């Protein structure tokens, strides 16, 4: 497959490298700064699932340099989504489908409106990865999972081709028959996990040691379930219980990517995640007091620089 990685940061560079390792053609479509960094230091994975150096990383700095792309793996932060739309339009006009892997939900309707429903697949990822000072990927979890599926009947074939490509690679992949529900499950979970860890600036183990604090995470799961239900996605109390159980099962030091970003003094995706949930809630007259409080607590750090 010919895969364009748009957003060759922690997650994009990681999965791009895994596909390339399996023999697929991967083009990292990057801005100037990242192009220079890749030129200087290459793409390297420090990974619990096996280190890997991409022998000859391919970069492009404009879609005009790319012919016949099959797929765009879109792995930018929510606050960079709008900056990718022109390039995405050019790539979809060249025949590519877009697999967005961003946390959250708001980006889906934006992409569908801008690119056409037939061009936007559903997707998400479970991984814990970040970039070091050389722009190398540091992958610190035992999981490196991709979940994807069609949001439009015309996408079944590309999803099956991607599943085959993933089967050949050092990663876990799941072609989901109900990707919308899976995305909402992740959105529910990440709103609680990233919300509580980022707001109190502590890893999940510390949060768990204070039941009053941990309870807030459970309340956010419940609010997100109500929100999904308001959008006719059937999340249940069992999904809430599973999400809460997952938070219980994480290692003491485990934390969310948003909290890692707060620690590094990087911008935060809180507007896309919690802000997006509140906007969706207000459209269906759903009040979400815990989500609103967490949103307000994180907001001052959104553009915080060390």
Q: Which residues lie near ligand KPL (CB under 6 A)? A: 103, 126-128, 190, 193-194, 256-257
* 298 sits near ligand NDP (criterion: CB under 6 A): no
Considering only 122-130, 197-205, 212-220, 241-249, which stretch makes contact with ligand NDP by CB under 6 A? 122-130
For 102: left if phi > 0, alpha if psi spans -120 to 50, otherwise beta; the answer is beta
Question: For the chain, what is the radius of gyration of the CA atoms?
Answer: 19
Site for ligand NDP in 31-50 (CB under 6 A): 31, 33-34
User: Which residues are CB-contacts of 109 (< 8 A; sequence separation ≥ 6)?
Assistant: none
Residue 31 interacts, among ligand NDP, ligand KPL, none and using kind-specific CB cut-offs from 5 to 8 Å, with: ligand NDP
Give the ranges where 231-288 is alpha helix by DSSP (H): 237-249, 257-264, 270, 276-283
**Is 294 an interacting residue with respect to ligand NDP (CB under 6 A)?**
no
Any idea what the Cα angle at residue 61 is, between residues 124 and 135, rounded to 5°?
Answer: 60
Which member of 92, 176, 257, 291 binds ligand NDP (CB under 6 A)?
257
**Ranges assigned E (strand) in the chain:** 2-6, 25-29, 44-47, 52-53, 59-60, 71-74, 97-100, 122-131, 137-149, 172-175
For the bound state, the minimum distance from the C-beta of residue 98 to ligand NDP, rounded and expressed in Å, comes to: 13
Name the residue among 294, 197, 159, 185 with its Cα closest to residue 242. 185
Between CA 255 and CA 187 the distance in angstroms is: 16
The residue among 143 and 210 lying less far from ligand NDP, judged by its C-beta, is 143
CB of 148 to ligand NDP, least distance (A): 13
Q: Nearest approach, Cβ of 305 to ligand KPL (angstroms)? A: 20
Q: Is 263 in the site for ligand NDP (CB under 6 A)?
A: no
Find the largest Cα–Cα distance for the chain: 55
Query: How many whole angstroms separate alpha carbon 251 and alpha carbon 5?
Result: 31
From the list ligand NDP, ligand KPL, none, partner contacted by residue 294 (C-beta under 5 to 8 A by kind): none
Residue 270 — φ and ψ, nearest 5°?
A: -65, -30
Determine, following the binding rule CB under 6 A, whether residue 9 of this chain makes contact with ligand NDP. Answer: yes
Which of ligand KPL, ligand NDP, none does residue 256 bind to, with CB < 5 to 8 Å depending on kind?
ligand KPL
> Coil, strand or helix: which one is 145?
strand
Sorted by sequence, the CB contacts under 8 Å of residue 156 that are 6+ apart come out as 150
User: Considering the rule CB under 6 A, would residue 129 count as an interface residue with ligand NDP?
Assistant: yes
127 in contact with ligand NDP (CB under 6 A): yes
Answer for which of 3, 4, 6, 158 binds ligand NDP (CB under 6 A) is: 6
Q: Closest-CB residue for ligand NDP?
A: 9
Q: Which of 111, 122, 106 is nearest to 274 (CA)?
A: 106
Instruction: Looking at residues 181 to 200 of the shown chain, list those that interact with ligand NDP (rule: CB under 6 A).
Output: none
With CB under 6 A as the contact rule, the residue among 22, 25, 49, 80 that binds ligand NDP is: 80
| Shortest Å distance, C-beta 187 to ligand KPL | 10
The smaller minimum CB distance to ligand KPL, of residues 155 and 256, is found at 256
CB of 211 to ligand NDP, least distance (A): 27
Residue 120 bridge partners (DSSP)? 98
Give me the least distance between CB of 84 and ligand NDP, in Å please.
5
């Amino acid at each position: 497959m010919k895969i364009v990685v748009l957003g060759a940061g922690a997650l994009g560079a990681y999965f791009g490298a895994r596909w390339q390792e399996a023999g697929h053609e991967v083009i990292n479509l990057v801005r100037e700064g990242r192009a220079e960094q890749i030129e200087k230091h290459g793409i390297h994975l420090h990974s619990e699932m096996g280190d890997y150096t991409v022998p000859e990383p391919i970069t492009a700095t404009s879609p005009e340099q790319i012919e016949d792309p099959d797929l765009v793996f879109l792995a930018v932060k929510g606050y960079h989504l709008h900056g990718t739309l022109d390039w995405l339009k050019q790539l979809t006009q060249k025949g590519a489908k877009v697999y967005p892997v961003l946390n959250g939900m708001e980006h889906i309707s934006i992409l569908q409106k801008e690119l056409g429903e037939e061009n936007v697949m559903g997707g998400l990822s479970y991984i814990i990865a970040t970039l070091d000072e050389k722009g190398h990927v540091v992958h610190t979890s035992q999981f490196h999972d991709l979940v994807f599926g069609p949001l439009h009947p015309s996408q079944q074939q590309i999803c099956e081709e991607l599943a085959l490509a993933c089967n050949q690679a050092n990663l876990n992949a799941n072609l989901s028959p109900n990707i919308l529900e899976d995305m909402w499950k992740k959105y529910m979970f990440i709103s609680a996990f990233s919300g509580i860890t980022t707001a109190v600036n502590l890893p999940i183990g510390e949060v768990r040691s204070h039941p009053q604090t941990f309870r807030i995470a459970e309340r956010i799961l419940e609010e997100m379930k109500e929100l999904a239900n308001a959008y006719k996605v059937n999340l249940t109390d069992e999904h809430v219980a599973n999400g809460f159980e997952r938070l219980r099962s994480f290692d003491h030091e485990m934390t969310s990517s948003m909290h890692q970003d707060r620690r590094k003094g990087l911008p935060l995706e809180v507007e896309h995640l919690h802000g997006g949930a509140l906007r969706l809630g207000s459209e269906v007259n759903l009040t979400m007091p815990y989500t609103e409080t967490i949103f307000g607590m994180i907001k001052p750090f959104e553009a915080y620089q060390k």
